[in-house]
Structure 1
Amino acid sequence: MNLSQKDWSAQLEQDNNSFILDVRTEDECSDGIISGSINIDIYEGQGFIYKVEELDKSKNYYVYCKSGGRSGQACAVMNQLGFENTYNLEGGFTQWKGEVAFPE
């Protein structure tokens, strides 16, 4: 499900079963990440699928990339793998106005 920046962050704030997934490349993550997110690069192809399959399917996944395209694909893949609640951040990290952290 695609959510606007406002709806995505408002819903995330209220959700105590959330998991924030960043599907960008490691290089892109050096520009900053949404606080609390875990990175699994969608460009890893089958590796991405293996890593995602290890995640808890009962959680609500808030997924983002740089502009919203790859995260939309990631949500579709995750839905096919049995994840029921995936939320794509429309506009991605480039339009993010919330808290930003920097990876170690």
Structure 2
Amino acid sequence: MADLTQLDWVEQLNNDNNAVILDVRTQDEVDEGKIPNALHIDIYKGQGFIYEVDALDKSKNYYVYCKAGGRSAQACAVMNQLGFKNTYNLIGGFSQWTGDVE
């Protein structure tokens, strides 16, 4: 897992043709807006989160965010334990996001 500032996260993401954006916030948070093209899997689903994440393609690079960066850091750690090689945590999360929102 790597913690990246928004600038580094976006720059790396834009140059990555093997990237998946993963939003681990609650549905209520997602309803307020999300980063375009983000896949949503709520980390608060507990074991359900692990099942859903474990089914993802482990050869992809995952750019993970939550509201402030804490849950996404936890999600990256879980993903690494499940065999994901490249996970990138967005420092500051969606609350500090200044890019596009859908």
TM-score normalised to structure 2 length: 0.98
Which residue number corresponds to residue 54 of structure 1? 55
How far apart, CA to CA, are the structure 1 residues paired with 2:14 and 2:37?
Answer: 12
How far apart, CA to CA, are the structure 2 residues paired with 1:60 and 1:96?
Answer: 20
Identical aligned residues as a percent:
68
The 5 A counterparts of 1:12-31 are: 12-31=13-32
Which residue number corresponds to residue 90 of structure 1? 91
Which residue number corresponds to residue 35 of structure 1? 36
How far apart, CA to CA, are the structure 2 residues paired with 1:25 and 1:55?
Answer: 19
Runs of 4+ in 1 over 4 A off after TM superposition: none
The C-alpha deviation readout for 1:12-46, integer Å capped at 9, x for no partner, is 00000000000000000011000010100000000
**Structure 1 residue 6: Cα displacement:** 0.4
Which residue number corresponds to residue 3 of structure 1? 4
State yes or no: 1:44 paired with 2:51: no
Residue 20 of structure 2 aligns with an amino acid whose one-letter code is F
Segments of structure 1 that go 5 or more residues without pairing to the other structure are: none
How far apart, CA to CA, are the structure 2 residues paired with 1:72 and 1:11?
Answer: 18
The C-alpha deviation readout for 1:47-67, integer Å capped at 9, x for no partner, is 000000110000000000000
Partner of 1:100, secondary structure, is coil
Partner of 1:78, secondary structure, is helix
Q: How many residues align?
A: 101
